Structure 1
Amino acid sequence: MLDTADTADTAHSAVTRSAGAPRPRRSAARRTALLMVGSATLLAVTAVIGIGLGSNPIHPATVVEAVFAYDPMNNAHLVVVLSRVPRILLGVVVGAALGLAGTLMQSVTRNPLADPGILGVNAGASLAVVIAIAFLGVQSVSGYIWFAFVGAGAAAALVYLLGSARGNAGTPVRIALAGTAVSIVIGALTQMVLLSNEPAFNAFRFWAIGSLQGRDFDVILTVLPFIAVGILASLALVAPLNAITLGDDVATGLGTNTTAARIGVAFAVVLLAGAATAAAGPIGFIGLGAAHIARFFTGNEHRRLIPASVLLGATLLVVADTLGRIAVAPAELQTGVAAALFGGPLFVALVRSRKVAAL
């Protein structure tokens, strides 16, 4: 395995040198460092501002004091620690999972439009959760998560099978079309169940819009182990993903088992997207946006790309959630709606860009 990884990295380095020598590579490393520092700074500032927002505004100084010198007798400290800090932490965890899931899907399919929402993973998880609510009476995230995993995995498998039907390789266009078709069908089935079951609709609608509101530390602790395993699995796939970036034929020639790599990526994506969707509902555009912005700074070297997409996904979701609350204060714009409003223009710009061809 080490030989395969070293060979893949050597080939990737050779391609980089032939394309423009070590200077662009050093430049990519500097851009990655700049992205990481900028994202971390923006995340920290937005978190402090976001914790202070709400029906009862809290001064940033009080927020910092509550975090580092918690006083259970102070009402403002109680609001910060028991309500708003869990919201920000869940945004970090869910955003990181979605950002990484989008990056993995784009890399393994070599499709610049791949994302858990576009390829039907979120729709599959949503249908499974609807079934759990409507017919099995499941009401908690700890119950949702298993159904979300099953639905996400089934949808991902169906999209890949349809996209690679008749023995053909799953090209980016075929997989994107298959994902769109599967999402439409699953969405119709979900609506059919909801419209025929009013109690299920009332329970589902608050989850389906995508929100970080009202989640506590128990929700974070429920999904965190699955997301951690997904991140670790993706780190173990760095060398195969670098090889696949060069093309399947080259990757196979270097000794990479592309089928095993894709199965490993599918496992990681199901864990990441399934857990994130179970915790916060289906939230779109974070995976797509984080993956593209991270790749612009880091290039296709996954040692840089994976950590950058994790941090950037967390930052984008927390920023979207905070901006959504600022935009309609003192009311609140749900996180899924805010992410769509800010991600929609990015998606349009991406579609119109001449640079969007293949990874």
Structure 2
Amino acid sequence: MTTQTPLSPSPESSARYPVHRGKLIGLVTATGLLAVVCIASLAVGTENVSLGTVWSAVTDYRDVGDEWIVHELRIPRTVLGLLVGLALGLSGTLIQAVGRNPLADAEILGINSGASLFVVSAIALLGLTGIWTYIWFAFAGALFAMAVVYLVGMSGRAAVTPVRVLLAGVAVGAVLEGIGFAIRLRHPRAFDNMRFWEAGALDGRPLDVALAIGPFIAVGAVLCLVVSRSLNITSFGDDLAKSLGGNVVRTQLLSLVAVTLLAGAATAGAGPIGFIGLMVPHAVRRFTGPDWRWILGYAVVVSPALLLAADIVGRVVIRPSELPAGIVTAFIGAPVLVWLIRRRGTDRT
């Protein structure tokens, strides 16, 4: 009779270790890249600021010259970008995991459009101007749009497919955006100070905006952590997940709450910004594999870096004017969506 030494690693664990070490190294590298992008976000813009001035503005702020630009304008902008990017990346990853739809994203499925419509309605019809008040309408709008999209996608006799849900989201999102645009035309003065918000931008927001949406994004991120372990099981389908001991209803319910908080808070803070949640899971899957826990971990770091990079590009591409970050991400994300649809069509042939 042979016994195995408890301290000796099994072949399975020794095979896994290098894989996890590689993923961890990649995550640390992505975190370093995020730090570089954050520094660039503080230094680069229509008026570039030296790194010494950036350091002085952060550590020993004096209300003079370029330090004022960094402290009063770019620090709130960067903090908002970090929060909104994190929220968009996590919400998109969660939608793809729970819905088993690799083409999903909060913007593509019309969730951001629903949140935007409810915020626009609150501002124009109820006179609400502070984010502490209309953020609740963003949550309600995100939940409303999500429900309508899936009701439309599941209606009829045809089988529910990811592409069908995608088309339903595009259609519902277009309708909601049209209604919101009509409301803005009827009440133009209410939106004189929110024109960049409509296009999805990070500038012109005080630090209070980030403070308002931060707690909700934190709760959504914690919920993502709670459901992360069960996402790999639920991705096999409801029946198989139940046979493996997965609580499908609990995972779907918590994910619904998390997506509502994340997408609603991101839209309330920066307006409708799309394609971040679509691109990031596909980009990081090359390093993480199909494990949703690692994909969520990478999304926490890569998504803010991508959004801040898009914001930096928007600052310099048409100097001295600026291009909203939402437009930059649309220029990048739309071709990615077309490529993903074509690839899925090719894989099925």
- Cα–Cα, structure 1 residues 201 and 221, in superposed 2: closer, same or farther, change >3 Å? closer
- Cα–Cα, structure 1 residues 25 and 205, in superposed 2: closer, same or farther, change >3 Å? farther
Instruction: Tell me, in whole angstroms, the C-alpha distance in 2 between the residues paired with 1:208 and 1:236.
Output: 33
Q: Please give the secondary structure, in 1, of the residue aligned with 2:76.
A: helix
Look up the equivalent residue of 1:50 and give its one-letter code: S
Shifted more, 159-168 versus 311-320: the winner is 159-168
Look up the equivalent residue of 1:124 and give its one-letter code: G
- Cα–Cα, structure 1 residues 178 and 330, in superposed 2: closer, same or farther, change >3 Å? same
| TM-superposed deviation, 1:203 | 4.8
Question: Which residue is 1:224 aligned to?
Answer: 214
Instruction: Tell me, in whole angstroms, the C-alpha distance in 2 between the residues paired with 1:73 and 1:125.
Output: 37
Look up the equivalent residue of 2:107 and give its one-letter code: G
Contact 1:28–1:297 under 8 Å retained in 2:
no
| Structure 2 unmatched runs, 5+ | 1-10
Question: Which residue is 1:164 aligned to?
Answer: 154
Question: Which residue is 2:103 aligned to?
Answer: 113
2:54 matches 1:63: yes
Q: Please give the secondary structure, in 2, of the residue aligned with 1:353.
A: helix
Shifted more, 193-202 versus 167-176: the winner is 167-176
Contact 2:97–2:292 under 8 Å retained in 1:
no
Instruction: Tell me, in whole angstroms, the C-alpha distance in 2 between the residues paired with 1:174 and 1:122.
Output: 19
- Cα–Cα, structure 1 residues 28 and 247, in superposed 2: closer, same or farther, change >3 Å? farther
Residues matched between the structures, number: 338
Look up the equivalent residue of 2:88 and give its one-letter code: L
- Cα–Cα, structure 1 residues 75 and 55, in superposed 2: closer, same or farther, change >3 Å? same
| TM-superposed deviation, 1:277 | 0.5
2:173 matches 1:183: yes
Contact 2:96–2:105 under 8 Å retained in 1:
yes
Contact 2:118–2:141 under 8 Å retained in 1:
yes
| TM-superposed deviation, 1:49 | 1.9
Instruction: Tell me, in whole angstroms, the C-alpha distance in 2 between the residues paired with 1:177 and 1:352.
Output: 15
Contact 1:317–1:339 under 8 Å retained in 2:
yes
Question: Which residue is 1:38 aligned to?
Answer: 29
Q: Please give the secondary structure, in 2, of the residue aligned with 1:114.
A: coil
Contact 1:94–1:314 under 8 Å retained in 2:
yes
- Cα–Cα, structure 1 residues 237 and 22, in superposed 2: closer, same or farther, change >3 Å? same
Instruction: Tell me, in whole angstroms, the C-alpha distance in 1 between the residues paired with 2:24 and 2:307.
Output: 20
Question: Which residue is 2:44 aligned to?
Answer: 53
2:336 pairs with one of 339, 346, 349: 346
Instruction: Tell me, in whole angstroms, the C-alpha distance in 2 between the residues paired with 1:226 and 1:112.
Output: 25
Instruction: Tell me, in whole angstroms, the C-alpha distance in 1 between the residues paired with 2:75 and 2:171.
Output: 39
Question: Which residue is 2:230 aligned to?
Answer: 240
2:188 matches 1:215: no
For residues 254-333 of structure 1, the aligned pairs below 5 Å read: 254-333=244-323
Instruction: Tell me, in whole angstroms, the C-alpha distance in 2 between the residues paired with 1:337 and 1:310.
Output: 22
Look up the equivalent residue of 1:269 and give its one-letter code: V
| Large movers: runs of 4+ above 6 Å | 21-24, 166-169, 355-358
Shifted more, 211-220 versus 273-282: the winner is 211-220
Contact 1:112–1:357 under 8 Å retained in 2:
no
2:62 matches 1:81: no
Instruction: Tell me, in whole angstroms, the C-alpha distance in 2 between the residues paired with 1:302 and 1:23.
Output: 22
Between the aligned residues of both structures, percent identity stands at: 43
Instruction: Tell me, in whole angstroms, the C-alpha distance in 2 between the residues paired with 1:151 and 1:205.
Output: 20
Instruction: Tell me, in whole angstroms, the C-alpha distance in 2 between the residues paired with 1:26 and 1:299.
Output: 15
Shifted more, 106-115 versus 234-243: the winner is 234-243
Look up the equivalent residue of 2:110 and give its one-letter code: G
Instruction: Tell me, in whole angstroms, the C-alpha distance in 1 between the residues paired with 2:130 and 2:347.
Output: 42
Look up the equivalent residue of 2:134 and give its one-letter code: Y
| TM-superposed deviation, 1:290 | 1.3
1:67-120: CA deviation from partner (whole Å, max 9, x where unpaired)? 2x3132543323212211111111111001100100000001111110000111
- Cα–Cα, structure 1 residues 175 and 356, in superposed 2: closer, same or farther, change >3 Å? farther
Question: Which residue is 1:253 aligned to?
Answer: 243
Question: Which residue is 2:121 aligned to?
Answer: 131
Question: Which residue is 1:192 aligned to?
Answer: 182
1:276-298: CA deviation from partner (whole Å, max 9, x where unpaired)? 00000000111111121122221
| Structure 1 unmatched runs, 5+ | 1-16
Contact 2:93–2:277 under 8 Å retained in 1:
yes
Contact 1:43–1:319 under 8 Å retained in 2:
no
Question: Which residue is 2:3 aligned to?
Answer: none
Instruction: Tell me, in whole angstroms, the C-alpha distance in 2 between the residues paired with 1:173 and 1:299.
Output: 23
Q: Please give the secondary structure, in 1, of the residue aligned with 2:192.
A: helix
Look up the equivalent residue of 2:34 and give its one-letter code: L
TM-score (ref. length: structure 1): 0.86
